[in-house]
Amino acid sequence: MDIFCLAPEEPFHVAREVQLQFPLFQLRKLDNFCIIFVIKGTACIEVDFRRFEIEEKNLLILCGNMFFQCLEISKDFTASYITFVPAIWLEITVSFEPSFFAFLKEYPHSPTLPGVQKLHHMLCASEYIYREKENSFRLKIFKNFLQNFLLEIYDKAKVRILNRNTSNTNRQEELFEKFIMLLLKNSSTRREVQFYADELCITTRYLSTVVQRMTGVTPKDIIDTRCIQEIKMLLCTTNDSIQEIAFRLNFPDQSFFARYFKRNTGMSPVEYRKSRGISVI
């Protein structure tokens, strides 16, 4: 069962408490959006080359264009899920604040959330919408439902993961969200903390204070993590040479690029490609 694919005539699909088995070590770029609520079992996955351990009552929100790979999955892995096309996502999130998209990109995996049973009941309720194929307002009802569901997840997840209330965002929280948005836009070519501090009109010291308060790590740690993800995507999904990738990502030369990658991953770009089963010419 490929839960990420939809039939041509289906804009969305919902299934409740089904046993899933993802193909192991098959890197894929997702076309559709998928929300998965784990009922039973465990799995180890990579989303945009970041590893996550998945267990019971965890929630995954996988967006279109994300890179997904399953590394390990238990035989009893059971989940409820919603899959839907990008057009629905664009329509229902058009009025969402930018921090929502930054948040989902940074946190595709949510650990056990407050009110988790309510979220699962909501997801299960969407199955009734899916089955009512004769209802002329079915798609409109589903879009309204999905929008409410995503907002509910966002509220609960931000409180849990970032330990903050979405109705009481202060100045530091706004700066952090703006930093994440800038990072998503520029991380492939801009790796200096000074650049982001200048864009936010604050000092590097203050940016470090804000980011460490929110995440426990430094801005440089987050910048390097995002950049390494970009590099891994290019190494795995293109036939570009190491020199071409280094040039595309604005590194001064191939040697500097290789040292940067090895410092952050423990292996050279060539070794990484070999580890992924990609032939190196």
CATH class, 171-275 region: mainly alpha
Compute the distance between CA of residue 180 and CA of residue 197 in angstroms, rounded to an integer. 12
Return the exposure string of 136-151: e unless at least 16 CB atoms fall within 10 Å of the residue's CB, then b: eebeeebbebbbebbe
CA distance 269 to 211: 29
Amino acid of residue 90: L
Q: Which CATH class is domain 12-161?
A: mainly beta
Q: Tens of pLDDT along 143-165?
A: 999 998 888 888 777 665 555 54
3-class DSSP state of 252: coil
- 247's tokens: 């040039």
Q: How far apart are CA 84 and CA 201, in angstroms?
A: 39
Q: pTM for this structure?
A: 0.66
- Domain locations along the chain: 12-161, 171-275
Long-range contacts of range 249-253, CB-CB < 8 Å, 24 or more positions apart?
A: 249/188, 249/189, 250/188, 250/189, 250/190
Which tens digits make up the pLDDT trace of 83-131?
999 999 988 887 777 667 777 777 888 766 666 677 778 888 888 899 8
Beta bridge partners of 78: 19, 40
